[in-house]
Structure 1
Amino acid sequence: SSGRPSTGRFTFDVFDTSRSSSTMTPGAHLLRNSFGTRPTSSSGSRRHETSGTSTSAEIIPSSVVVAVVEGRGQARGEVGMASFDIKNPELVLSQFPDNQVYANTIMRLQVLDPSQILLPKTAFDNNAMPQLLCQIEQEFPPTSITSLDRKFFSESAGIDIIRELCIPEYNSVELEVLNKYYALSAAAALIKHVQYSMNIVCSPKSLRITFTTGENVTRIDACTMRELELLVSTLHPRSTASLLGVLNHCKTYGGMRLLRVNILQPPCDLPTILLRQKALQQMLNSEELFYGLQFLLAKFPNIEHILAMLVQTPRRETFHTMEATINSCIALKRILDNVEPLQLLLKKSEDTLLTTYASYLEDVRFGRLLDTIHTVLHDDFNYEKGTLNKMIQQCFAIKPKVYGMLDVAKRTFREVYDDIYDLVEKQWAMELQQPLKVAYSTLRGFYIQLKFMGPAPQLPESFIKVTIHKTCLSCTTDGLVKLNDRARVSMHQIYSMSSGILRNLISTIINDIGCLYKLAEVVSNVDFLHSLAETCTLSDYVCPEFTDTLCIRGGRHPLLEKVGMQPFVPNDTFATKDTNFVVITGPNMSGKSTYLKQVATLQIMAQMGSYVPATEASFRIADQIFSRTGHRDDIETSCSTFLMEMKAINYVLQNFKDTSLIVIDELGRGTSEDEGAAMCVAISEQLMDSEAFIFISTHFELMTELESAYPNVANYHMEGEMEETDSGEGQGVLKYAHKLTRGCCMDEDNGRC
């Protein structure tokens, strides 16, 4: 009969959307004990509930755990770090020297965005490393900080872990870290914590382990990151009003993570930047490549998470771990099915970088993995939407005749579903003359759903647990609850046996898992580049050049151009070794601060390999970018505005180089005018005695006189003019042009710019 499941071989399309609602509870991961719970009385309690709706911005929480340890005695200042992303099975080690305020440590932690930081207990002692702990607590207040016994930070245990867990094609890392005692110590403590506190055990020879030196990247400190709003808007933290929000069109988790890393640490080696520019140009010039990648990348949503599920062995089996195993294998098959189309598309391009990525995907292990998976899983998988359809796919993922007892459990479950369908959509629907439908959620199991218009229909007393949401009524009955109990037992049997079969399958393919790490790397990089290319299609961007001159014509702030209510006024920027110190004056609200942020933001975008919002652009590679555009007092640390400003500027003075880019907004405003002007000039004279590019806005007249004393200083100002009002009496309104012009702006009445 129409709409009834076939009694022959079970197929997924039996449970189509015409028979079962796909608007079930989304995002549920557990089949809770309350599934199918029977009411205490036969009649039950009739309770009508009208639930409201609530929406919130989707936030992907961090899953990175980081261990940090500092050397002792003569090795004080040497810091070892190890990080492990629970959703991405890669152990990353690093070891580096640091200063008294641990600037390098904070910058690296900022990039990693940890959810938990592990420190040795000695870091909490007054006589050991209090400064490191204080800096971490100050910069990462919401992050959990955990202390571990110092004995767990063992370099010998660290090298043993690398030998045990690292996959063969990355085992050269052992030579890189052989003498990196503190990186190894951090790795040992981290893996111990992950195993015993988080119950995560990784299979032998299954982890990608790398050592990073932090070279060839531009340093951006935490203060600069906040002030330029690289990741988060200062006014609306949950919005996308940030540089990351502007550039993020990624389809995969790995691509978005790589985009975030490149915003905080853009490369400073020219060959890498030029390769990315050429890849972007190829994507923008070829519609087939651009739209083909847009389509294919959506089929690789989260390779890293699937890898994590494959290499992590659960300490004990639960319904959640069994479901995760089944889902991971289903997702792995879908991903492997799309490797060849992605490889062929990349190979057709004429770009060096993209064809290199294509060569990585020619690995014969991909075909071998797919053949092995096809021996167990169905060949005709399609992506299923809706809680019910996904559950059905999980239950019938494994082919018939793989395991006889599993086939029996499937048959039992199918019979239970037939009974539920006949009871709801035939017997009760005909008796009540209502369009009743079978619905499913992981929380409630199978239940009855009725969509209506107008007043809610009246149901018999046998219909219990009635809830109403807008125009949708949900309920159940004693008979349906009994069938739910039978379905739950069958599902547990199916999931348990399926998980066992797939665990055996995983153990046979783990030796070929190295190719999946390559796939994850390729997809992340291609997705990152495609996101930059997609950003270029939404506005008028230009490919920048790299010379020894900073020259931008018609530059625009990418964030304000996107969210601004009015057309953005473009401005030019110019700096060379001979004119490297630019003083900007102008009235308040004329656009000085925005201009300074624009210069630094465009520098970051250019070094990422992205196009920039301008008509023409040429940049000099910067190995450090400093932004000091806003300081307020800090009650928590009893620091005044002036003291906070001096701390920030002192950090710049101690760390800037000839190849740095520095933007400073109204230096010296935290004290009196005379003291502020004198201090501003003194600091400026120290900065300008270098080849760094410095842009500084000011209201001090004394600063504009530097141009006549130093040949490398240039004065610019933001235009603004007074317009007379109709009332007369010499009063007027200041009109802002937001246009940068050569020369200085002076208010002759008070001697301020």
Structure 2
Amino acid sequence: MTHTTLQDIISHGVKLTPMMEQYYNIKQNYQDHLMLFRMGDFYEVFFEDAHLTSKVLNITLTHRGKLGDFPIPMAGIPHHAANAYIDRLTSAGLKVAICEQVQDPKDAQGIVQRAVTQVVSPGIPYDLDRASSKEERFIIAAAELDSKYYLAAIEFSTGEFFGSVLNDRQSFLDRIRLISPKEFLCFKDQWREWPELFQLIEGMGIVKSYLAPEYFEQKHAGLYLDKIVPGYKRDRTLTKEAVIIGPMCALAYYLKSTQLQESFQHVKPFRLESDVQTMKASAPTLMGLEILPRHRDQYKDSVLGFMDRTLTAMGSRSMQRLVSQPLRDIPQIQSRQDLIEFFINQEKKHQELRDLLSDIRDLDRILAKLATNKATSGDLLNISYAVNKAQEIIKLLNAKNLKALPKLAPKMMSALDELAQEIQATLNDEIGASLDKGNLIKQGVNKTRDRLAKISVSAEDELVKLEERYRKETGISNLKVKSNNVAGFFIEVSKTHSDKMPKKFVRKQTLVNAERYQTDELAEFEKEMITAKEKLSKLEREIFQNLIQLTLEKCQDIQELSSYLGLCDAYQSLAQRCRQEEFIRPEIVEYQICHLEGAWHPLIRSTLKGDFVPHELHLDQECYFGLITGPNMAGKTTVMREVAIIQILAQMGCFVPAKKATLGCCDYLFSRLGASDDILRGQSTFMVEMTETAEILRHATDRSLIILDEVGRGTSTYDGLSIAWSLVEHFVNNVKGLTLFATHYHELIEVAASLSGAKNLTVETLNHQGNVQFMYRLIEEGASQSFGLYVAKLAGLPQQLLKRAEHLLLELESEEEEAPKNCKRSKDKNLTQLSLFPDQPVQEIPTYLKKIEKELGAIDIMHLTPIEAIQKLYEFKRHLELKHLQ
């Protein structure tokens, strides 16, 4: 439904009111934003913005008069509750321009001057105190050169600023999935270059913010980047990967243009990430294994949520980084294990640490508030509190050789200690202290401030004395000396006493039941009082701003302290959960092995309240492939998820859910679990499955952990079996990484048994006279039979249907046994496969199709393995998709 716009009204020649003309002129610069227009105690929105705001916030849509014959649609939100409303608007994917009154109405000649003072968006929260500690709102920008992808990301509320250089498109897309940004900066035609990226952006609900192409150019670095990352020119990694400076410039410009500031002292030094020392795992893998949550409301049901017992916002964010970036460096892993073991063994010290951490606020976001002039005295006091608690934490932990924690330089901590003392000596921490009341700064900090404060305090006493004197002079016992923001200071008496007032009392205002008067003495008193209060407020504000600037000068030191406290919190959180769940310290070795005794899935055992059958598993360099067969519901997938979770936890440096564990370090974790149709993108379950499998084949090494569940089930039985068969052979003979391959194709049991490096596994099942019992224990043998009908019975299928299915199964099994004897392939050459499509008129074949035809003609099918066929198919399909989108 279309609505009348202000532009439509103007096109009809309607003259605008001065206020609407002001609104229109400002709105012209923010046409893709919803503009909140300050009107007294409300923010108001007009025309199409009003319709949209009313719908998103579910508030009343009304009208504010007319322009000519056209009503002015309007909606409004109260200024005092704006934070919550603005947060809801940005959560809905909207960008909001906040237009404030920038002039005191008393000084205005005509309409009050207004201007946009801030722009907020899904990636830039309005109220930093409301921002969830578990949710980071990254904004990203990217560039491509010579098939390399350069990605830069910034999180405004915490100051995180980093980048990645990716060598292929799939890694680039996976990195975006893992970051899960709220906004993507791009220019208008960029989608033509990256159709797959824009499909991902749309699918993830990421908001696109368009900038002109020149803001992505490296030549503008001096204009936009210098004040945010002053030392970027000296960074050798950036010199080597200079292309990433373009996306960095775009991010810097976006911050400058939305926040209307030149510099942001809270933004951390840019870091270029490297995955050399970390295990690689894609976002779909981590989410599919439920290691990371797919959605915010699934946090508690993920491994991350299960292990997260942090007490601070910094700790929660550190925990997310530990889980999503497991290590490959064994000494680093062992250092983390040492720290967790220390906390587990030293339970008293562990509890002391938790007590010290419990009331520390989010230092990163406090710095963001300081840098954007939104800080309160409470924010500065919270920094001083954190510094004091950090000193106690250092004393508690520094005596130990805990290498996993960074060392904080004594000189730095001494400087922060001085800052904390200065904050505490300057600011009044009493409840109710504020700049408006003139009592924010402690007495003794500034002599002029103390004198002005004394005048303000004594003035209250003088006012009481003046009231008593006027009562005696007039004989009116209920005479009162009052003040308010409108009338200022005045003397008030009831109307019955107005004839008793002496001549020096000049009538100022008449009310229904009272008269108000002024005297020269009271007017002089008011002038002195206002002057003293204004001077006091101005001076206190200056002292407060100086303290903020002093704090910002120590910004990097505070960020280093924040990182230290976050890591302390994350590691103690892991220790807390490991102690509660009786996890053990795994042995991490150089060679490839996965040896587990008494292992369990942590989330499932917690849900079952301990009623969980533990598993045993042994894979190593000699026997690295496990083919798992057995019925549904017996626990095959649980075992595979469990192994992946244990590997992630181990390479995080954490303890693991097992009685004993010996593990090697993996370079990649791959998983293909379940089926997720992508019908909207024209991809079937089977196509998605084959695409993901092809990706695994391209990147898997003999140092990888590979989890595959039911590959090949999305097509016909023999097609699926042949693909699964060839995959088994390829993983065993070529890849040789630790692999768990679950399948319903029992024909593969003999294949695995015949291959050196492979073995059969099944989840033990007992069948006594048709009564099946799942034992949930993993044993080294192939499944003896299928239990599909039994599972169907458990699912509640009707008895009549089950009997019919059992009869058909017996017939089919009988026919299968006879088939080799009776089956004869038809020799009739006239039998052809029916076409699914009607005859089409002959058309000229496009060049790119001729190229594919030529490549197909050059393939020797007799010497092409099934794996190579899958890879070729994937390449052809990708090429066709790109051509289609062009």
TM bracket, shorter-chain basis: 0.7 to 0.9
Matched, 1:576 2:620: yes
Q: Secondary structure at the match of 1:348?
A: coil
SS, match of residue 614 in structure 1: coil
Deviations 1:683-708 (A, max 9, x none): 22222222211101111122111233
Whether 2:251 is the aligned partner of 1:223: answer: no
- Paired residue for 2:574? 532
Quote the Cα distance in structure 2 between the aligned partners of 1:88 and 1:247: 23
Corresponding position of 1:112: 179
- Report the TM-score, using the length of structure 1 for normalisation: 0.72
AA aligned to 1:637 is: R
Q: 2:160 aligns with which of 84, 90, 99?
A: 90
Distance in 1 between residues matched to 2:458 and 2:647, nearest whole Å? 61
1:691 is the counterpart of 2:736: yes
The 1-side partners of 2:535 and 2:655 are apart by 55
- Partner SS, residue 66 of structure 1: strand
Residues in 1 aligned to 2:400 and 2:249: alpha-carbon distance in whole angstroms:
44
Change (3 A) 1:745 1:195: same
Measured at CA, do residues 212 and 496 of structure 1 come closer, stay the same or move farther in structure 2, by a change above 3 Å? farther
- 1:633 to 1:351, Cα distance in 2 relative to 1, 3 A: closer
Mapping of residues 172-571 of structure 1, within 5 Å? 174-199=235-260, 201-203=262-264, 207-232=268-293, 237-238=297-298, 240-310=300-370, 312-314=371-373, 321=374, 324-354=375-405, 356-357=406-407, 359=409, 363-378=413-428, 381=429, 396-400=439-443, 402=445, 498-547=540-589, 548=591, 549-564=593-608, 567-571=611-615
Partner residue, 2:675: 631
- The amino acid of 1:400's aligned partner reads Q
- Choose between structure 1 and 2 for higher RCO, CA contacts under 8 A separated by at least 6 residues: 1
| Identical counterparts, % of pairs | 22
Distance in 2, Cα, partners of 1:309 & 1:288:
36
Higher helix proportion (structure 1 or 2): 2
Determine helix, strand or coil for the equivalent of 1:220: coil
Q: Is the CA contact (8 Å cut-off) linking 1:69 and 1:186 kept in structure 2? A: yes
Q: How does 1:658-669 map to 2 (within 5 A)?
A: 658-669=702-713
- TM-score, structure 2 as length reference: 0.62
- Where does the alignment leave 5 or more consecutive residues of structure 2 unmatched? 1-79, 87-99, 101-129, 464-531, 787-809, 817-886
Q: Residue 244 of structure 1: CA displacement? A: 0.9
Q: Does 2:593 match 1:593?
A: no
Q: Secondary structure at the match of 1:543?
A: coil
Alpha-carbon distance in 1 for matches of 2:644, 2:222: 41
Residues 42-93 of structure 1 deviation map (CA, whole Å, 9 limit, x = unaligned): xxxxxxxxxxxxxxx996574433332222xxx2422222222122123223
One-letter code aligned to 2:202: E
- Give the whole-Å Cα distance in 2 for the aligned partners of 1:500 and 1:580: 69
Matched, 1:144 2:217: no
Instruction: Check whether the contact 2:629–2:763 (CA below 8 A) recurs between aligned residues.
Output: yes
1:714 matched to which residue of 2? 759
Q: CA deviation at 1:176?
A: 2.1
Equivalents in 1 of 2:679, 2:267: separation in Å? Answer: 49
Query: Structure 2 CA distance, aligned partners of 1:159 and 1:517?
Result: 25
Q: Report the secondary structure of 1:664's partner residue.
A: strand
Distance 2:783 2:131 in 1: 46
Secondary structure of 1:707 counterpart:
helix
RMSD of aligned alpha carbons: 3.6
Separation (CA, whole Å) in 1 of partners of 2:362 and 2:632? 47
8 A contact 1:69–1:120 mirrored in 2: no
Count residues with an aligned counterpart. 596
Query: Take 1:361 and 1:723, find their aligned partners in 2: how far apart are those partners?
Result: 74
| Residues 1:63 and 1:707: Cα distance change in structure 2 (over 3 Å) | closer
Match in the other structure for 2:489 = none
Q: Deviations over 1:457-488 (max 9, x none)?
A: xxxxxxxxxxxxxxxxxxxxxxxxxxxxxxxx
Question: What is the deviation of 1:520?
Answer: 1.2
Gapped regions of structure 1 (runs ≥ 5) = 1-25, 34-56, 315-320, 383-387, 420-489, 725-731
Equivalents in 2 of 1:104, 1:130: separation in Å? 15
Q: Secondary structure at the match of 2:214?
A: helix
Which amino acid letter does the alignment assign opposite residue 710 of structure 1?
L
Separation (CA, whole Å) in 1 of partners of 2:433 and 2:692? 53
Q: Secondary structure at the match of 2:761?
A: strand
C-alpha distance 494-296 of structure 1, shift in aligned 2 (>3 A)? farther
Which residue among 665, 670, 679 is the counterpart of 2:714?
A: 670
* 1:634 to 1:498, Cα distance in 2 relative to 1, 3 A: farther
Q: Is the 8 A contact 1:246 1:562 kept in 2?
A: no
| Alignment partner, residue 727 of structure 1 | none
CA–CA separation in structure 2 for the residues paired with 1:284 and 1:493: 57
SS in 2 for 1:682: helix
SS at match of 1:582: strand
Change (3 A) 1:649 1:110: same
Equivalence for 1:134: 199
For 2:640, what is the secondary structure of its paired residue?
helix
Contact 1:282 1:349 in 2 (8 A): no
Shift of 1:203: 4.3
Following the alignment from structure 1 to structure 2, what is the Cα–Cα distance between the partners of residues 196 and 184?
18
Matched to 1:352, the amino acid is K
Tell me how far apart the structure 2 counterparts of residues 79 and 287 of structure 1 sit (CA, whole Å): 47
Deviations 1:119-162 (A, max 9, x none): 233313x3x23233223333xx2221222211001223336655
Does the 8 Å contact 2:433/2:439 carry over to 1? no
2: CA distance, partners of 1:515 / 1:334: 15
Structure 2 Cα separation of the partners of residues 709 and 31 of structure 1: 66
Report what 1:739 is aligned to. Answer: 777
CA pair 590-370 structure 1, distance change in 2 beyond 3 A: same
1:336 partner SS: helix
Tell me which amino acid in the other structure corresponds to 1:737: M
Query: SS at the partner of 1:213?
Result: coil
Kept in 1: contact 2:764–2:774 (CA 8 A)? yes
Amino acid at match of 1:121: K
Structure 2: distance between partners of 1:619 and 1:662: 14
Q: How far apart, in 2, do the equivalents of 1:97 and 1:597 lie? A: 29
Q: Within 1, Cα distance between the matches of 2:290 and 2:768? A: 34
Q: Deviations over 1:200-220 (max 9, x none)?
A: 553469743322223211111
Q: How far apart are the structure 2 equivalents of 1:150 and 1:187?
A: 13
Q: Which amino acid aligns with 1:348?
A: A
- Of structures 1 and 2, the larger Rg is shown by 2
Structure 2 partner of 1:12: none
Preserved contact between residue 266 and residue 555 of structure 2 (Cα < 8 Å): no
What is the deviation of 1:580?
0.9
State which of 141, 148, 153 in structure 2 corresponds to 1:78.
148
The yes-or-no answer on 1:620 pairing with 2:670 is: no
